[in-house]
A = this chain, B = another copy of it.
């Protein structure tokens, strides 16, 4: 699925890109503070460094800004995720490393993640599929990595479990941000990552099982 076009009146493509960068930057800052609905177009224009008239030279409707913002965030996340996963060698150790990297990236982007979680639903039925699609692609990247480990005999999961594990991973990375009111009081980021990875790989095993398992040479 291609990127959804947001129509601009201005023809100069370079300029459109530049102005939209300004716009996204300004809008993100405001959305972080007050959310999409409570932010006015005039505020966005001001925060972007141009007039309300100019703003509308680069979009058609307020919702276009939200789309641009969310789309941009997904691109950022994807970019980071790609980097995190590309080192991956198909071993458990490298998988754990990738996950830790991803968790850390998401922690850095927690405010963006928050905006996405809370505002994406304000996208029209028209725009929503495009961003969901991006999310599906990202979950797919995790799946691929996990599936790799399974192929290598490092993990033993069926297809349903692989898919679900990928989902869980994706969500847990963002959880640090969207549940920070609880998690960030109880854990440092390092603790969170460590514990999360432990649970992920050991599961909530029975005590004996674990001893025996742990007891292997």
Binding site for B on A (CB under 8 A): 35, 37, 92, 114, 117-118, 121-122, 132, 135-136, 139, 146, 153-157, 160-161, 163-165, 167-168, 171-172, 175, 179, 181-183, 186-187, 191-192, 195-196, 198-213, 216
A191 to B: closest C-beta gap in Å: 6
Given A118-B121, A213-B209, CB of A186 within 8 Å of CB of B204 = no
Q: Are B212 and A203 in contact (CB under 8 A)?
A: no
Q: Are B92 and A206 in contact (CB under 8 A)?
A: yes
Q: Copy number in this complex?
A: 4
Given contacts A35-B122, A118-B118, A168-B199, 18 further A-B contacts (CB under 8 A): A117-B117, A118-B121, A132-B181, A136-B182, A153-B207, A156-B210, A161-B198, A161-B199, A163-B186, A164-B199, A167-B182, A167-B183, A168-B168, A168-B172, A171-B171, A203-B205, A209-B213, A212-B216
Measured between alpha carbons, how far is A186 from B121 in the docked complex, in Å? 21
Q: Are A179 and B175 in contact (CB under 8 A)?
A: no
Q: Are A206 and B155 in contact (CB under 8 A)?
A: yes
The 4 tightest CB contacts between A and B, nearest first, are A203-B203, A156-B207, A202-B203, A37-B37
Nearest B residue (CB) for A136: B182
A115 to B: closest C-beta gap in Å: 10
Measured between alpha carbons, how far is A49 from B71 in the docked complex, in Å? 37
From B114, B182, B183, B205, contact of A156 by CB (8 A): B205
Q: List 14 A-B contacts (CB under 8 A).
A: A35-B121, A136-B182, A139-B182, A156-B210, A157-B204, A160-B186, A167-B179, A167-B183, A168-B168, A168-B199, A171-B171, A171-B179, A203-B204, A212-B213
Measured between alpha carbons, how far is A157 from B191 in the docked complex, in Å? 14
Report B-chain residues with C-beta under 8 Å of the C-beta of A156. Answer: 205-207, 210-211
Report B-chain residues with C-beta under 8 Å of the C-beta of A153. Answer: 207
